[in-house]
Structure 1
Amino acid sequence: MELQGKIIAVMPEKSGVSARGEWKAQDYVVETHDAYPKKMVFSVFGADRISRFNIQAGQEVTVSFDIDAHEYQGRWFNSIRAFDVRLVDPATVGAQPGVVPGSAFGPAPEAPAQPAAQPAAAADDKVDDLPF
């Protein structure tokens, strides 16, 4: 999935040691530009990705992410992990007509053309669609 918006918060980096070795993760908050803006917290896992994406507050980005959930002591928690973060030129935000930045659905489809009205049948025409 993808979401476009502005980075409004950069959370402190977290790190630890697991059976596989040392790990690092960092959370960010992105806000969409919809009529009713939405906010989403997403995580970037791995020191290499954190440094490669180099996400800063105030940047306009497109976030590609996966959603997953896990259970802990009878409660469920969502996890939103970014696998790609690309910078967006702020001048192009909202420049595409019909596309709402941050929308996962793209432009709205156009309404199909209405068929031409059929002329009313004359009284002497034997149009009968009754089954008996």
Structure 2
Amino acid sequence: MAYELTGKIKLIKDTEQFSSGFTKREMVVTVEDGNYPQDINLEFLKDKISLLDSVSVGQEVTVSFDIRGREYNGRYFNNLVGWKVTAGAGAEQAASSYPTENPAPAGGFDAFDEDIPF
């Protein structure tokens, strides 16, 4: 399931490369939430790290992300993994790793629900 948040970029970290060849890059977005703004850390993995090249600190963005969870030694951890960044409120240009040349099917996106293996 995909989620979305909108806020202002507080920090974009450098790309981290691990000995296994795995790469990630993190971004912190400040989301106004009543009296207490929330600093939300999102990570971008592998080929998605290039999405952060088109945005900068202080910029208003909308980020689409998935929530990933795992267990390690009896403790549970969650990660917010970004896959799309749209710059500015209502901006038409989106930095996305998904192709946009194929339009949605005539029946809408619900037509794909039965084909998804997860």
Tell me the TM-score normalised to structure 2 length: 0.64
Partner of 1:76: 76
Q: Which has the higher helix share?
A: 2
Counting only pairs closer than 5 Å after superposition, residues 35-114 of structure 1 correspond to structure 2 as 35-36=34-35, 37-46=37-46, 48-54=47-53, 55-89=55-89
CA displacement, residues 5-39 of structure 1 (integer Å, 9 cap, x when unaligned): 00101223211243xxx221011110113323222
Runs of 4+ in 1 over 2 A off after TM superposition: 33-36
Q: Of residues 10, 13, 29 in structure 1, which corresponds to 2:12?
A: 10
Larger radius of gyration between Structure 1 and Structure 2 = 1
In 2, Cα distance between equivalents of 1:53 and 1:9: 11
Q: Is the 8 A contact 2:62 2:89 kept in 1?
A: no
Show structure 1 runs of 5+ residues with no match.
91-132
Deviation, structure 1 residue 62: 0.2
Q: Is the 8 A contact 1:62 1:85 kept in 2?
A: yes
SS in 1 for 2:27: strand
In 1, Cα distance between equivalents of 2:51 and 2:85: 9
Deviation, structure 1 residue 88: 1.1
In 2, Cα distance between equivalents of 1:38 and 1:52: 22
Q: Which has the higher strand share?
A: 2
In 2, Cα distance between equivalents of 1:12 and 1:71: 27
Relative distance call for 1:82 and 1:13 in structure 2 (3 A) is same
Identity level (%): 35
Deviation, structure 1 residue 78: 0.7
Deviation, structure 1 residue 43: 0.2
For these two proteins, the number of residue pairs brought into alignment is 86
